[in-house]
A = this chain, B = another copy of it.
Amino acid sequence: MTDILTNLRNISGDTYVLSGNDDRKAFDTDVFGDKIGSSLAVVRPANTDEVAAILKLAHETGTPVVPQGGNTGLAGGATPTADTTQIVLSLARMNAIENINPETRTATVQAGVILQNLHDAVAKHDLIFPLIFGARGSCMIGGNISTNAGGSNVLRYGNTRALVLGLEVVLPDGRVMNLMNALYKNNTGYALKDLIIGAEGTLGIITRAVLQLHPAPVARATALLSVASLPAALTLLRKLQDASGGAVEAFEFMPENHMQGYQNLNPDRTLPLETPGAVNILTELGATSQLLARPGDDGRPLIENLLEDVLTDGFENGDILDAAIAQNDSQRDAFWHIRESAYEVATSDGPAIDFDVSVPLDQVETFLDQAAKRLASVVPGMRKTIVSHLGDGNIHYGVLPENNRNGIAPALKTKVMEVVEDLVTELNGSFSAEHGIGTSKRPSMARQKDPVALDAMRAVKAALDPQNIMNPGKVLP
């Protein structure tokens, strides 16, 4: 033990090896305060060479290593477990944006860059890195990549995997693997980059990345809608995509009780819709074509005219029941506040059994209907919270049993998880759409994942990390 601490101090300096309980606490505890591990030490390397030296040491001593970025993950992947021999390797000091190239629209960054800082830096070039979600002020790029983070505009720009051109990875034995290319075509062997992305630090540690940037939209059109049904919403999405040439940046579903819950929490705010119904949609189009930003006959940008045309059509055929279009940024912010209050709305009624699932786009309604039916007998008096990135089939589904404020019995939780996840599997969906596996979803992996695929994953893990020192106890059951 002492040897390892001494060696870590020799690598990164005394200041950057934290072994006291108080110093380690923030690193040992997950974002909810639910999962509390107990590491031997936290080491905070300054650069790739130090990461490599630490992993070489870990390799030689069989020491388990937990890579950590902003520690904002929702599945426990970045938090140490109870094993007191683990060291947490924090990437937080490796926070340089090394290069932004406006000509190729790429950025080269270290793993510890906070997502919001990258957003701010590329905005100066009228560019965006289109990964956006609540934790952006503290999550780090390395963690985003390790979890293949999603969010609300995957619909347009893809998951994190689609935004990463190159990676530098330190393998479990301390060797540095250089995949740092800014290339759009590169068929030179196996897709190691894609394999490392989403592996949640179990195959190696991401130290640097080349990221794809996109032009910032030059105009936006944002609407809150009450739609006749989920199939009508899917039709509307297609019409918006066709009218705008794929410029739909968000297509978010909120059911009636979300709107009601939001109103209860925000009694001073007036809901933009006079008659929120069963299916409320927040949609936003982002014009990246300058043409769509030009003023139309009414002086408003063409992208807004285009949105209005689709909505008018939807009113006429009965697909749309009510609509509000944001007339300015403060109205837009007010619309988004309703969606972004999902966490507050969901938790205002006490703890829930939470799911982050996805199904094929045309199966969302079936999922919601069937889940309600099958859970009715399992959870008497059940309430539920739902918000959905409907445009990509991702549903955040929360089940609140009666008397949930007094705690939820583990047996009930397990039963509910089985019912919901069995349904998801029947519908050819995913039991973890964007939050990953970490420790929380390992039982689901064991139950739901194709056993042949699980075996293949275990073979890959054993091949690249034969000592099982990289983030052990995560991802694979």
Contact = CB atoms under 8 A, between A and B. Distances in A.
A391 B462 CA distance: 39
A428 B393 contact: no
Contacts of A199: 190-191
B101 A476 contact: no
A189 to B, nearest CB: 5
Contact of A188 (B238, B432, B461): B432
Contacts of A175: 452, 455
Contacts of A158: 162
Contact of A183 (B186, B242, B393, B444): B393
Given A177-B456, A242-B215, A429-B181, A187 B362 contact: no
**Interface size grouping (class) on chain A:** 35 or more
A430 B473 CA distance: 36
Nearest to A177: B452
Contacts of A243: 289-291
A142 interface: no
Contacts of A274: none
A434 interface: yes
A143 interface: no
B198 A190 contact: yes
Contact of A191 (B103, B195, B360, B433): B195
Contact of A434 (B177, B187, B433, B462): B187
Given A190-B198, A289-B289, 17 more contacts: A103-B234, A104-B361, A161-B194, A171-B456, A179-B450, A181-B360, A184-B361, A186-B433, A188-B444, A190-B456, A194-B194, A194-B195, A245-B292, A246-B289, A289-B292, A291-B291, A291-B302
Interface of A: 101, 103-106, 147-148, 150, 154-155, 158-159, 161-162, 171, 175-192, 194-195, 197-199, 203, 215, 234, 238, 241-247, 287-292, 302, 306, 358-362, 389, 392-394, 428-437, 441, 444-445, 448-450, 452-457, 459-464, 475-476
